[in-house]
Amino acid sequence: MDSDIKKDLEEILKETAESAHSVPVSSIPDIALYMDQVTTFMSRELDATKRYESDKILTKTMINNYTKNGLLPPPDKKKYSKEHMLLLLLLYSFKDFLSIGDIKTALSPLLEICSREESPADLSEVYTRLNAAEDLRKEEISKDILDAFKNAENAFADAPEADREVLTAFALIHSLSFGISFRKRIVEKLIDVLQEKKLAEEKAAEAADKGKKADGRKTDKK
């Protein structure tokens, strides 16, 4: 017979999968929005991601802070474009576990590619592809979590029945927390690799520029 914790977990997985829908590009207004309209839109579309009713999705202060730190372009005449909205949605997916500096390092190469005149994809297309990948991952993640539950259950199968459910729940929480921590470290290391490559490219470009200037001075002397 299924334990109460397994029934709770299955219900949590179902509710989370249903609520973890990505905001489709088609839902984002094609017209520029003022700040209050932006926060209202985000609150409405991402309401299901809140843990508590009093939680804020994106505030004016958060958005201004993203702009101040170069993660978001300044608004045009106090209005935010569709690209601003796409960036805010991407930022929202990172903000709970990455620093502003790490988010900037991860986003910058993507924005550089999307801004090229002959870019392979614009931001809307990239965002749509990312959403499609997320939808495919939901089922895989749910299966991984149920497997983790089985391992947690087996770890305390010999515990007294009165204590077994609490121990199993704690073992599952610990297992999932370890998974989050492990993946977070991998994400941070990938970001560090991006940062190192960016610095190397900047140094190479600087050295090449100095070389051109030196060659120019030699030519002038002749």
Q: Is 19 in contact with 48 (CB distance < 8 Å)?
A: yes
Give the per-residue pLDDT at 90. 93
Give the per-residue pLDDT at 49. 87
Give the per-residue pLDDT at 65. 94
Write the pLDDT tens digit of every residue in 46-64.
998 888 999 999 999 999 9
Q: Is 167 in contact with 27 (CB distance < 8 Å)?
A: no
Residue with tokens 């100095």: 210
Which stretches of the chain score pLDDT less than 70? Answer: 1-3, 216-222
Report the distance separating Cα 13 and Cα 22, nearest Å: 16
Tokens of 170: 């704690």
- Helix, strand, or coil (residue 73): coil
Query: 132: how many CB neighbours lie within 10 A of its CB?
Result: 11
Say what the pTM is: 0.81
Q: How many residues does the chain have?
A: 222
CA distances from 41 to 31, 47, 60, 145, 211 (A): 13, 10, 13, 32, 51
- Helix, strand, or coil (residue 57): coil
Give the per-residue pLDDT at 209. 81
Report the distance separating Cα 102 and Cα 115, nearest Å: 20
Domain limits, the chain: 4-221
Report the distance separating Cα 48 and Cα 45, nearest Å: 8
Q: Is 58 in contact with 42 (CB distance < 8 Å)?
A: yes
Q: Is 58 in contact with 92 (CB distance < 8 Å)?
A: yes
Report the distance separating Cα 164 and Cα 181, nearest Å: 25
